[in-house]
Structure 1
Amino acid sequence: MDDYPLLNLFWTMLWFFLWVMWFFLLFKIITDIFRDHSLHGWGKAGWLILVLLVPFIGVFVYVVARGRSMHERDAQQVKENEAAFRSYVRQAAGSGGGGSADELTKLSALKDKGDISQEEFDRAKARILA
């Protein structure tokens, strides 16, 4: 440990952290290039070549040129994911306990009107709950 002072350890950790953040930014930009529906084939290919062949300049130019729209696409993706999740929850809740509860309510209303007898109500209730 005497050969590697604390300050050198700090600098090594800082450079490692920056290296990891660089790759995170690079992958984020590549993902954004492919997710953008307004950018077509040659545009995507051009940005991808720029980002991969001249990484530092390409990434910085991409962030400056398309940073704002990158945020808008992220926000749109979050909204779409949330809407899909809410739709799934509504569908799952509707087909699960909510559906049998509605059927039991209708069955109870029929019994209260006198349209079905108590025995028919009990059989139908057992069938719904089974």
Structure 2
Amino acid sequence: MSSVWDVLWVIIVSFCFVAYLMLMFYLLTDLFRDRATSGWVKAVWVVCLILFPLLTGLVYLIFRGSGMAERTAEAQQQARTEANDYIRQAAGTNSAAQIADGKKLLDAGAITEAEFQQLKAKALS
């Protein structure tokens, strides 16, 4: 029969193992996201991560930590841009159509020239 301490120990060890796996996957993702690093250097990092995971993980975080933040921010910005482009495409509205609709409203007298310029600036941003 297991005690409460055994269960607590399993929970702590499981948490540490999951945290370790997340760190390794994050490091590998960052490593292969980096276009400036050659394939041989990436292979050395991967081998070191397999043979000496904790030491290599700490060294990677110390020496390449700032680059990790930059690459992550760049990847998030690219994903955000792609998502926005997809949403615009799926919605069927594009800048030219919005400007054309605004021009029709201007020609019909429904909006003023200043309002049309605002619509145009918003569509182009």
Report how many aligned residue pairs link the two structures.
Answer: 109
Go from structure 1 to structure 2 and tell me whether the alpha carbon gap of 1:69 and 1:105 turns closer, same or farther (over 3 Å shift).
closer
Q: What are the ranges of 5 or more consecutive residues in structure 2 without an aligned counterpart?
A: 107-125
Is 2:56 the counterpart of 1:83?
no
Q: Which residue does the alignment assign to 1:53?
A: 51
Query: What percent identity do the matched residue pairs reach?
Result: 30
In 2, Cα distance between equivalents of 1:73 and 1:55: 22
The CA RMSD over aligned residues, in Å, is: 2.8
Counterpart mapping for 1:1-130 below 5 A? 3-93=1-91, 95=92
Go from structure 1 to structure 2 and tell me whether the alpha carbon gap of 1:18 and 1:90 turns closer, same or farther (over 3 Å shift).
same
In 1, Cα distance between equivalents of 2:62 and 2:105: 65
Superposition TM-score, scaled by structure 2 size: 0.71
Superposition TM-score, scaled by structure 1 size: 0.68
Q: What are the ranges of 5 or more consecutive residues in structure 1 without an aligned counterpart?
A: 110-130
SS of 1:4 mapped into structure 2:
coil
Write the deviation string for residues 39-76 of structure 1: whole angstroms up to 9, x where unpaired: 11121111111111211111111111111211211111
Letter in 1 for 2:41: G
Write the deviation string for residues 91-119 of structure 1: whole angstroms up to 9, x where unpaired: 222x36x999988898999xxxxxxxxxx
Structure whose alpha-carbon radius of gyration is higher = 1
